Structure 1
Amino acid sequence: MIQRHLELGLSHIYSIRAKRRSDLLLEVARKLLDTSGEIDDLLKRIVAQTRELTGADRCSFFLVDKERNELYAKIFDLNAEPQPTTDQAALPASLNPQPSTEIRFPINRGIAAHVYQTGELLNLENAYKNEMFNSDIDGVTGFVTTSLLTIPVFNNGEVIGVIQAMNKAPRFTKADEADGVAFAVLAGLALHQSLMMEERVKAEHHAKVALEILAYHRQINPEQLSALTSEPTIDVHAKFPGFATLSFQGRLAVPLDQTIRCCVFMLEDLEILQRWRTPRETAIKFLLTLQLGYRDVPYHNWMHAFSVAQFCYVLARKAGLLEAVGLDEVAALFISCLGHDVDHRGTTNNFQKLAGSSLATLYSSMGSVLERHHLAQTLYILQVDGCNLLANVESSEYRKVLDRIRRNILATDLASHFAIQKRTEAMLVQRETTAPDQLTPTEKSNATHLICCLIMTACDLSDAGKPWESASLVAELIYAEFFAQGDLERARGEKPMEINDRTTANKPKLQLGFIDHVAMPAFKFLSRALPLASEVEGAVLRNRQRWQALLDGSST
């Protein structure tokens, strides 16, 4: 009789628990499916509801990037915001981009990758005891994983994502597994629906952006193309003395109608055309098409792209960049410099997002809105008939070149630069303390990757290290663009930030903040990576002194 009462009591308790779990699962399903269709919003809900359902300390949701053969978590830690570096924390709000929260790793590494490949749930009481566990992510986030529940998310029989719940004491139970699997079904349906909606919206905005570009840009002038292809390559060094120096003032010294000729010279002199077996006429058509892709905005225009590419050329020819990373990387860097701001609208990433522009709709879920657009436009121009510099490159190398260009252009987002500063510092220390033949292939590859990202940042900011005449002129162009954005914001009834407000901006003060927290740290890194380029650091310092004098004079 007592045993029977115990059985009935336990059955009643289990039924109550089951009902509570069922009610919770239904509530979770309601919240999950009640979304606006935004992928970021859905991922946040999936992470939040997984935590609520399983009682986990933290959760993540990994999506699949088939193009790069990687898994990535857009929103890895819902509880904690990324901590900025010391330099970044000191920046004015207007110059302080948010670091990326995206974490990526190869599709064949780690527990999440294993679950993605096998389609089977995995419940670990101690993650570190499993040889498949990728502890690198803990190293990045500062979080220590103990118990781990990893569940595949399916749609139409295909794994489209992985849910990972972390740290429940003492461990995740069978009930958590069952609830997690049930929830994963709902998550798969919601994600599929959201992805379909996103694709439809993106298709509409791709069409809109294409129409905007067609309406703005002109076709190549056939007479200009014929003239450029028929004439010999100019002797840049004779025509523009000092061209191969880091202090060369490209904006002041080279007329606009000579920039294409200079670019052809640099492509030939660096042996990029020879390396890719690119006909000279193809290079000229590519350059003319790319030039037309730039808008007539005060700063982010074709002359900026030319100046950035010329600085890259000098680093390769005179400062040891070619020896440091090799011709294949230099070739990709040079093309990236030319295309890194193509079709720039003269406004910031944040402006695009707040305005709800077509570019923001296309790219905001991935971050680096403008940089991704510049990349897309550069790759598009490479596909235009007669413009493909890579047409004669072997297919295996072709993919590598595009990957390098992708990395390089996305690296020009200052948020990306700040995000890898610690890694760059560690890499430079290793290069300074370890003989080259003692570095592993992985360490050499990592160093090349980080150096190329640094080179893109340094080239993009190189105007700060030019003589004062050029540096101060460029600063005026930058503020003309910033103020134009502020005018648009004010017309929308918004209050511009100081850097965009022509009525309150203190240019010398803002420039000092930019130099101290953005430019100078970048050029200090450059001096260590390429000691022959250390003169730029000194030029930045001299320009800082001029800005300081202007600030002191305005305050007296």
Structure 2
Amino acid sequence: MLSLLIDSKVRLPRWPVSAHNVDTKRDLRHAQGERDFFLTVVRDIATDLDLKSLSQKIVDDLTVLLDCDAGSLFLVDGPPRGSRRRCLVSKVFDVHSGARGQFLLPDGVQCDAAGGPTTGTDNEVRIPWGVGILGHVASTGETVNLDVACEDPRFDDEVDRIMGYYTSSLLCMPVKNSYEEIIAVAQVNNKNPDKDDGHFTSMDEKLFETYLQFVGIAITNAQIVEDSRAEYDRNRNLLEVVHDLFEEQTSIDKVIMKIMQRAQRLLKCERAAVLLVDESCDSTSFSKLFDLNSPKHNIKNNVKNSRQKVEGENVSRYLESLAERVACSGEVLNINEHECSEGIVDSGINSLLAMPIRNKNDQIIGVASIINKLNSSPFDDYDEQLFEAFTIFCGLGIHNTLMYSEVEKAMARQKVSIEVLSYHATASNKEVERILGMPVPAADSLNLYSLTFDDFSLNDDEMLMAAVSMFLELGLVKTFNIEKETLYRFLITVKRNYRDVPYHNWRHAFNVAQVMFAIMMGCDMKNTFSDLEVLGMFVGCLCHDLDHRGTNNSFQEKARSALVLLYGTTNTMEHHHFNHAVMILSSENLNIFSSLSAESFSTVMKVLKHSILATDLSMYFQLRNKFFRLIESKEYSWDEESQRYLLMAMLMTSSDLAASTKQWHVQKRAARLVTDEFIEQGDKERFELKIQPQALMDRERQHELPQLQIRWIADICLPLYQALGQMNPKLNVMKEGALNNMHQWSKLVDENYKNLNGEQNN
């Protein structure tokens, strides 16, 4: 499927080899005349973008133009000058002794043991750089014109003797591109003996040079097209590599197997090996070794049907030592047959390319090696470039797979940790049985309907039973079929998941829930909301500060705590409280929502999240002016969901801040506890974060508590309670309580002022 999607829609033109053979071209030259024939052959090569057919045309044209016996054309191949891998390569080759117009094996071509030329894929012939007359012309750029070739020391008659051919005259010239760089060498042999005594003249040289200028343009264009095709193939192959690697990220063994299989297909080699660096060792060593062998010329079948994966064995010491060298230095190794030691060549290795595999941090995590190109030639620059890109993607694939493995381990550790924490944080059967045996008090007997309820009047067990009583009085147990044991276990677990901090603990959570209960039942607000919304809000009150650490959102951001990394800097603690509530509700035997339908469950969870997030004062500041305007206009309708959710948020805040409205002895004690918690945070900011805490958290400014409380009530609390009292007169109790506490704090300010003046007078 991927191959179809990335198939190129561009179709480059291709021209077949000219239908005119050498004899036909000679007749054409005779018929057209030299000038017109020259233009004809130039037009012919100008429109041919295939290097192989172009090479054949050029050789044929040279044979006819210069009226000679044979010709040859070799293209420069390899990296820029100075590289030992530079050579001359023919695109076509056909050996026939003496036949006029045939592509003749030039001097300098090496022969195998049987006496034939050394050829590669597609019948290519390669000549080492600087060898023979062709190599000399390529390296120097000089023109060589020999009347008697055998007298020149650069000429090698070995080929003539093997092929039964005699080279008398010879003309060899470089082919240059527009940058005056040598891109090919052309050679013609044995001028017609009936012309100029069989010697190439200066006129021949001029004609040869003129024609080769057009040849340079044609070859350049054809090479650009060939490079474009190669680049497209390279990008396509690399895209398939990416697809392969990132399709499988669960097993390092499978990923590396895909890497080796793809390397063999992509770079057409017999063998591939991958060695992973052992990061636990100080010295360079490998934790895993993978080796994949394929029979020559049968890669695909072998990979699919008889693949071999070998870990820790069958990788020769030679390959491992080279891999260690690459891993240590980070260098690329490209070794051909002539550079391999005799013992290694005997073992079947004649070329090798090894590169480091790096992760996204550029650290070497392994070494990839490919061995023995199928055409028996060394790995060239194109192979290096392709393999380098290949190893980059392989590095990312291996890195991601290793990271996936680490994530899996982390998830497993987290699962175990959650199980352990759940065991210790969940109500025990013994504790549940003890509470189940206690009587449930009537809500009015505990003054739970009152907004002036004493926050410190009940102990832990009494608060648990009071919470059960409120669930019953709200009708939630009956309406939603909450099992008694599940409810008790849930409440005990919620209690246990509050930390032992001065203020934001289980008592505070219970007190917030009691205020919400009093608003619903004592102030006739229950019918404003649906039963699901009442359930979500009441549970939200109980859970709104779960796992509070005694520090606020600002501290989490300043300390860059794990909670900030997990939830971000907006509503950090509130998101944590909600997620903690979800975790409890998701635990076995704790889901008090278990009887709800999917739709009802979704609704109550939406209300639960909205209620808990609303306890963040930043949310209150964003919403309160909208609420105040709505109440002032008296155009509100709680039947409209958006307005009802706005009211939910305000009621959550009013319940959360209700300590400021309670009787003076309750307010004073609560304020002291809040201050203790704030001062502990201030100490952490001063000594751990090295920053100056704000006034209400500064231990050195505790004496300013009365002024700070007056400002807190006047700016934050009182406007909300005034608006709620305007909406529902029964809520004016909270406004009056806040005003009374402001008065009490003002008296303390006056007393402190008098005491301060008295000390100064003394």
Both proteins in one fold, TM over 0.5: yes
User: What does residue 660 of structure 2 align with?
Assistant: 464
Q: For 1:342 and 1:500, locate their aligned partners in 2 and report how far apart those are by CA, in whole Å.
A: 22
Distance 1:544 1:292, change over 3 A: same
Q: Which of 496, 514, 535 is residue 693 of structure 2 equivalent to?
A: 496
Return the letter of the residue paired with 1:225: V
**TM-score, normalised relative to structure 1:** 0.59
User: What does residue 25 of structure 2 align with?
Assistant: none
- Given the alignment of the two structures, is residue 473 of structure 1 paired with residue 669 of structure 2, yes or no? yes
- Given the alignment of the two structures, is residue 546 of structure 1 paired with residue 758 of structure 2, yes or no? no
Assess if the C-alpha contact under 8 Å between 2:432 and 2:489 holds in 1.
Answer: yes
Q: What is the SS of the residue equivalent to 2:699?
A: coil
Distance 1:318 1:464, change over 3 A: same
Distance 1:327 1:530, change over 3 A: farther
Q: What is the SS of the residue equivalent to 1:403?
A: helix
**Correspondences of 1:193-272 after superposition (within 5 Å):** 207=414, 214=421, 218-238=425-445, 240=446, 242-250=447-455, 252-272=456-476
- Given the alignment of the two structures, is residue 529 of structure 1 paired with residue 736 of structure 2, yes or no? no
State the Cα deviation string for residues 218-267 of structure 1 (Å, max 9, x = none): 442322201222444223433x3x332110113x2111221111111100
Assess if the C-alpha contact under 8 Å between 2:613 and 2:619 holds in 1.
Answer: yes
Following TM superposition, by how much is the alpha carbon of 1:504 offset from its aligned partner in structure 2, in angstroms? 1.7
Q: What is the SS of the residue equivalent to 1:420?
A: helix
User: What does residue 524 of structure 2 align with?
Assistant: 320
> What runs of 5+ residues in structure 1 fail to find an aligned partner?
1-192
Distance 1:550 1:217, change over 3 A: farther
- Given the alignment of the two structures, is residue 377 of structure 1 paired with residue 573 of structure 2, yes or no? no
Q: For 2:579 and 2:685, locate their aligned partners in 1 and report how far apart those are by CA, in whole Å.
A: 27
User: What does residue 177 of structure 1 align with?
Assistant: none
Following TM superposition, by how much is the alpha carbon of 1:422 offset from its aligned partner in structure 2, in angstroms? 2.3
Q: For 1:500 and 1:357, locate their aligned partners in 2 and report how far apart those are by CA, in whole Å.
A: 19
More deviation in 529-538 or 410-419? 529-538
Assess if the C-alpha contact under 8 Å between 2:502 and 2:673 holds in 1.
Answer: yes
State the Cα deviation string for residues 404-424 of structure 1 (Å, max 9, x = none): 000000000000000012221
User: What does residue 605 of structure 2 align with?
Assistant: 402
- Given the alignment of the two structures, is residue 448 of structure 1 paired with residue 644 of structure 2, yes or no? yes
Q: For 1:450 and 1:315, locate their aligned partners in 2 and report how far apart those are by CA, in whole Å.
A: 16
What's the Cα RMSD here? 2.8
**TM-score, normalised relative to structure 2:** 0.43
Q: What is the SS of the residue equivalent to 2:701?
A: coil
Return the letter of the residue paired with 1:516: A
Assess if the C-alpha contact under 8 Å between 1:524 and 1:537 holds in 2.
Answer: yes
- Given the alignment of the two structures, is residue 307 of structure 1 paired with residue 511 of structure 2, yes or no? yes
Q: Which of 279, 291, 294 is residue 498 of structure 2 equivalent to?
A: 294
Return the letter of the residue paired with 2:752: S
> What runs of 5+ residues in structure 2 fail to find an aligned partner?
1-399, 755-762
Q: For 1:411 and 1:545, locate their aligned partners in 2 and report how far apart those are by CA, in whole Å.
A: 29
Return the letter of the residue paired with 2:617: L
Q: For 1:208 and 1:355, locate their aligned partners in 2 and report how far apart those are by CA, in whole Å.
A: 26
User: What does residue 126 of structure 1 align with?
Assistant: none
State the Cα deviation string for residues 352-392 of structure 1 (Å, max 9, x = none): 11111111111125x11100000000111111111101100
Return the letter of the residue paired with 1:449: Y
Following TM superposition, by how much is the alpha carbon of 1:216 offset from its aligned partner in structure 2, in angstroms? 11
Assess if the C-alpha contact under 8 Å between 2:540 and 2:612 holds in 1.
Answer: yes
Q: For 1:210 and 1:371, locate their aligned partners in 2 and report how far apart those are by CA, in whole Å.
A: 22
Distance 1:417 1:213, change over 3 A: farther
Following TM superposition, by how much is the alpha carbon of 1:303 offset from its aligned partner in structure 2, in angstroms? 0.2
Q: For 1:212 and 1:515, locate their aligned partners in 2 and report how far apart those are by CA, in whole Å.
A: 43
Q: For 2:619 and 2:556, locate their aligned partners in 1 and report how far apart those are by CA, in whole Å.
A: 18
Distance 1:333 1:339, change over 3 A: same
Distance 1:377 1:327, change over 3 A: same
Q: Which of 550, 567, 580 is residue 363 of structure 1 equivalent to?
A: 567
Return the letter of the residue paired with 1:502: R
Q: For 1:456 and 1:316, locate their aligned partners in 2 and report how far apart those are by CA, in whole Å.
A: 12
Return the letter of the residue paired with 1:499: L
Q: Which has the higher contact order (CA 8 A, sep 6+)?
A: 1
Distance 1:534 1:222, change over 3 A: same
Distance 1:211 1:489, change over 3 A: farther
Q: For 1:293 and 1:553, locate their aligned partners in 2 and report how far apart those are by CA, in whole Å.
A: 41
User: What does residue 753 of structure 2 align with?
Assistant: 555
State the Cα deviation string for residues 465-488 of structure 1 (Å, max 9, x = none): 000000000000000000111111
Q: For 2:440 and 2:460, locate their aligned partners in 1 and report how far apart those are by CA, in whole Å.
A: 17
Q: Which of 378, 390, 411 is residue 614 of structure 2 equivalent to?
A: 411
Q: What is the SS of the residue equivalent to 2:504?
A: coil
Q: For 1:318 and 1:219, locate their aligned partners in 2 and report how far apart those are by CA, in whole Å.
A: 33
Q: What is the SS of the residue equivalent to 1:534?
A: helix
Q: For 2:568 and 2:587, locate their aligned partners in 1 and report how far apart those are by CA, in whole Å.
A: 26
Return the letter of the residue paired with 2:710: L
Q: For 1:209 and 1:423, locate their aligned partners in 2 and report how far apart those are by CA, in whole Å.
A: 46
Following TM superposition, by how much is the alpha carbon of 1:531 offset from its aligned partner in structure 2, in angstroms? 2.2
- Given the alignment of the two structures, is residue 517 of structure 1 paired with residue 715 of structure 2, yes or no? yes
Assess if the C-alpha contact under 8 Å between 1:208 and 1:358 holds in 2.
Answer: no
Following TM superposition, by how much is the alpha carbon of 1:327 offset from its aligned partner in structure 2, in angstroms? 2.6
Q: For 1:210 and 1:455, locate their aligned partners in 2 and report how far apart those are by CA, in whole Å.
A: 36
Q: Which of 679, 701, 705 is residue 483 of structure 1 equivalent to?
A: 679
Q: For 2:419 and 2:692, locate their aligned partners in 1 and report how far apart those are by CA, in whole Å.
A: 28
Return the letter of the residue paired with 2:691: E
Distance 1:213 1:486, change over 3 A: farther
Following TM superposition, by how much is the alpha carbon of 1:341 offset from its aligned partner in structure 2, in angstroms? 0.2
Q: Which has the higher helix share?
A: 1
Following TM superposition, by how much is the alpha carbon of 1:433 offset from its aligned partner in structure 2, in angstroms? 4.2
Return the letter of the residue paired with 1:273: V
Assess if the C-alpha contact under 8 Å between 2:661 and 2:738 holds in 1.
Answer: yes
Structure 1's consecutive aligned runs of 4 or more residues displaced over 3 angstroms after TM superposition are 206-213, 215-219
* Identical amino acids, percent of aligned pairs: 29
Q: What is the SS of the residue equivalent to 1:214?
A: helix
State the Cα deviation string for residues 313-348 of structure 1 (Å, max 9, x = none): 111111121022233222211100000000000001
- Given the alignment of the two structures, is residue 334 of structure 1 paired with residue 531 of structure 2, yes or no? no
State the Cα deviation string for residues 114-143 of structure 1 (Å, max 9, x = none): xxxxxxxxxxxxxxxxxxxxxxxxxxxxxx
